[in-house]
Amino acid sequence: MTDSKKDYQKILGSVQKPVIGEAGKTGTWSSKKPFIDLSKCIPVKSGKPSCYNCWLYCPEAVITRTIPPEIDLIYCKGCGICMEECPVNAITMEEVKSE
């Protein structure tokens, strides 16, 4: 049936399937990127799952809830919320030169 389908019979309603990075590599939206000072980071210091404000407040879900938390810079838009919400100021936004 697939072979005998005319071209318009393969197109019906407008449908989507999921992909990562639908808008492309959104990390390119900002040259400022967040960096975590692991010496200050609470879950790193205690060795226990704790705090995770950065994971909680990230609108893009590019931070993992691990020890240490890891930030996916390919998709991070550099909004700076994680920096603002870190209770111990462990995160700084730094200028990153693009390749």
Q: Site residues (CB under 8 A) for other proteins? A: 6, 8-9, 11-26, 29-30, 49, 51-53, 55-62, 65, 72, 74-75, 77-81, 83-85, 93
Does 68 sit behind a cis peptide bond, omega within 30 degrees of 0 on the bond before it?
A: yes
Q: Report, in Å, the least distance between residue 71 CB and other proteins.
A: 11
Closer residue to other proteins in complex, CB, 38/74:
74
Quickly tell me which residue has 């240490």 as its tokens. 68
Contact call for residues 98 and 27 (beta carbons, < 8 A): no
Phi, psi of 63 (to 5 degrees): -110, 135
Q: Which is nearer to other proteins, 37 or 48 (CB)?
A: 48
Q: Are 40 and 25 in contact (CB under 8 A)?
A: no
Nearer to other proteins, 25 or 68 (CB): 25
**Whole-number minimum distance, CB 75 to other proteins, in Å?**
4
